[in-house]
Structure 1
Amino acid sequence: MSKVFSKIILSTGFLIAGVSFGIWGARQFDSSQDLSTPFSENYSIPVLDSNPRRELDRIEDHRNFNFIAAAVEKVGPAVVRINASREVVQEDFFGGMQPSQGRQETGTGSGFIIQEDGLIITNAHVIENSSTVTVSLRDGQFFEGEVLGIDQMTDLAVVKIDASNLPVVTLGKSEDLVTGEWAIAIGNPLGLDNTVTAGIISALGRSSNEIGVPDKRVRFIQTDAAINPGNSGGPLLNIEGEVIGINTAIKANAQGLGFAIPIETAQRISQQLASKGKAEHPYLGIQMVTLNANTFTNYDFPVPEEYQNKQGVLIIRVIPDSPAERGGFQAGDLITEIEQQTIIQTVDVQEQVDKSNIGEPLSVTVYRNNEIVVVEVIPGQFPE
């Protein structure tokens, strides 16, 4: 009898200890508690619910509500599903391409609302060549979408739906990101709506060549947060629930590698698409390579010997009748600065040119014939 009684006492002790531990775990997440003062001064026993099961559920709910859940709760209502329908085309008897009557293919992607009146950002490849675009919200609302503009060079597009008082996202800054910090992705991968994945920022400033899309003019954010087909166009968030990028690409044959367009690029391009229906891309008209040891051996262009210990971007060709030719650039010029920003590799040139304005002078510092020369060039519109 004494053994049974001892087991009862021991079990009761464990139960009390377990509940106490749960209460202490919940208290640790109480942001109102001043942790700078001793425990005995600011801790008070919480009032327990009379129903033990309900009280344990309350404690567990509080314990599991982390920064990811908070970010999703903040942004989730503004993330949308985009369905696009395209008419299938096929080769006719004469070798031309003709619509296949009655046959359509559909695709699914993601997007997010940036204005209460229904302005949505997504990827260009989600909706390009579509005959119809529909948008569904998390709360079940369903709308026909109007495509205001598509920009293939940045893989961005803007869609408008006829609505008001819609939930919107908060935009952050990708330029403040640090490799290794948390990243959260929301979207509709593989048709599974409102899917959330989390990881870290794996790298910053990935060039389009590095990830296998050389026709794009973007410096990508790399993340290991799972991004699958259907995530395209959805937001990448920081721990504050702010949008820092647009999920856009998965590198072929890779595990755990996803890429996002920085939100600053998305803002700039989306404003142009919404107001003009197209994006303007400043253009100089040069062919260039990053100056390094390989430049001296892998190119037929004669690299001056005085460049051996220098860094910058080497111009190997100036396009005839281009802004660069009119501005006075020469093959063999070594670009070292643009608008007083140091240039080390070709993506630096691309970034600075993208930030410039068409028709306004751009100051470029080059090294030429052992002299420093400042060239004033006026960027033009990228040729179609």
Structure 2
Amino acid sequence: MTASSNGSSAETLDGLIQFSAAVVAGDSGGPVFDDEGEVIGMTTAASSGTVDTVAYAIDIEDALVIAHQIESGVSSDTVTIGYPAFLGISLGSAGEVAGVLEGTPAAWSGLVAGDVITAVDGVPVTSSTSLSELLEAYSPGDTVTLTWTVGSSGASTSAPVTLIAGPAD
């Protein structure tokens, strides 16, 4: 199955259990039972925009492996322990800053609404999604070099920015 959410890049999901049920937003994490009442999976996704809902679950054994990983405090490419790194901006399209929260690294660096972030540590930012994906590679406390175009003048500027712990996704 290929899935995406709110315009994010598509992700291929393999090894899922497909089932028919009236799954709605907020049902993720719920159990999937077999005919004997045994839990066989955990709801993770559902189709939308069609008359018939097709839902998907991960096998319960896979869910338990992930749960034990979280309990043991071990991060991986797919599991982040703790809060994500946070810059403190809301984004428009193509990396344009729509707003800056007070008391955040973005505010301290001088970013303002209308500026366009063009790179993080020299890696080009081509969209709001690419900026979000770039920042996912960092942890709170990491310092990155942020490059942006000042909206009011068009001048390019860079500054070191130390990321803080952000809200849970």
TM-score range, shorter chain: 0.5 to 0.7
Residues 121 and 144, structure 2, Cα contact 8 Å, conserved in 1 = yes
Helix, strand or coil for the counterpart of 1:370?
coil
Work out whether residues 285 and 318 of structure 1, in 8 Å CA contact, stay in contact via their aligned partners in 2: yes
Amino acid at match of 1:221: E
- Please state if 1:323 is matched with 2:113: no
Q: Deviations over 1:132-159 (max 9, x none)?
A: xxxxxxxxxxxxxxxxxxxxxxxxxxxx
3-state DSSP class of the match of 1:324? helix
1:320–1:220 Cα change, 3 Å:
same
**Cα displacement (A) at 1:256:** 6.4
1:32-83 CA distances to partner (integer Å, 9 max, x unpaired)? xxxxxxxxxxxxxxxxxxxxxxxxxxxxxxxxxxxxxxxxxxxxxxxxxxxx
Secondary structure of the residue that 2:130 maps to in structure 1? Answer: helix
Structure 1 residue ranges, 4+ long, deviating more than 6 angstroms after superposition: 255-260
Give secondary structure in 2 for the equivalent of 1:355. Answer: coil
Residues 188-227 of structure 1: pairs in structure 2 closer than 5 A = 202=2, 206=4, 208-210=5-7, 221-222=11-12, 227=18
Q: Please identify the structure whose Cα radius of gyration is greater.
A: 1
For structure 1, the residue ranges without an aligned partner over 5 or more in a row are 1-200, 212-218, 234-245, 261-268, 291-311
Are the structure 2 counterparts of residues 342 and 325 from structure 1 closer, same or farther at C-alpha, using a change threshold of 3 Å?
same
Aligned to 2:120: 338
Task: Give how far 1:375 is off.
Answer: 2.5
Q: How many residues align?
A: 132
Instruction: Report the CA distance shift for 1:323/1:273 in structure 2 as closer, same or farther (over 3 A).
Output: farther
Per-residue CA distance 1:136-188 (angstroms, 9 max, x = gap): xxxxxxxxxxxxxxxxxxxxxxxxxxxxxxxxxxxxxxxxxxxxxxxxxxxxx
The residue aligned with 1:53 is none
How far 1:273 sits from its partner (Å)? 5.1
Classify 1:381/1:249 alpha carbon distance in 2 versus 1 (closer, same or farther; 3 Å): same
Structure 1 residue 278: Cα displacement: 4.7
* Distance in 1 between residues matched to 2:57 and 2:128, nearest whole Å: 20
For residues 352 and 272 of structure 1, do their structure 2 counterparts lie closer, same or farther at Cα, with a shift above 3 Å needed?
A: farther
Quote the offset at 1:328 in angstroms: 2.4
The residue aligned with 2:73 is 275
Contact 2:144 2:161 in 1 (8 A): yes
What amino acid does structure 1 have at the position aligned with 2:125? I
Distance 1:273 1:346, change over 3 A: farther
Query: What's the offset of the Cα at 1:227?
Result: 2.9
CA gap 1:349/1:273 in 2 versus in 1, 3 angstroms: farther
Q: Identical aligned pairs, as a percentage?
A: 20
User: C-alpha deviations, 1:184-215, integer Å up to 9, x for none?
Assistant: xxxxxxxxxxxxxxxxx546xx3x3248xxxx
Q: Does structure 2 conserve the Cα–Cα contact (< 8 Å) formed by 1:363 and 1:377?
A: yes
Deviations 1:92-112 (A, max 9, x none): xxxxxxxxxxxxxxxxxxxxx
1:221 and 1:259 in contact (8 A); partners too: no
- Quote the residue 1:250 is aligned against: 46
Structure 2 unmatched ranges of 5 or more: 30-41, 59-66, 75-79
| Residue 275 of structure 1, CA deviation | 1.8
> Which letter does structure 1 place at the counterpart of 2:143?
P
Q: 1:223 to 1:359 in 2, by over 3 A?
A: closer
Task: Select 2:95's aligned residue among 304, 313, 317.
Answer: 313
Structure with larger RCO (C-alpha < 8 A, sep 6+)? 2
Q: Quick one: distance in 2 between partners of 1:350 and 1:377?
A: 15
Match of 1:94 in 2: none
CA RMSD of aligned residues (A): 3.8
Give the Å deviation of 1:355.
Answer: 1.0
* CA–CA distance in structure 1, aligned partners of residues 106 and 133 of structure 2: 16
TM-score for the superposition, normalised by structure 1: 0.29
Shift of 1:226: 6.5
> Within 1, Cα distance between the matches of 2:69 and 2:132?
20
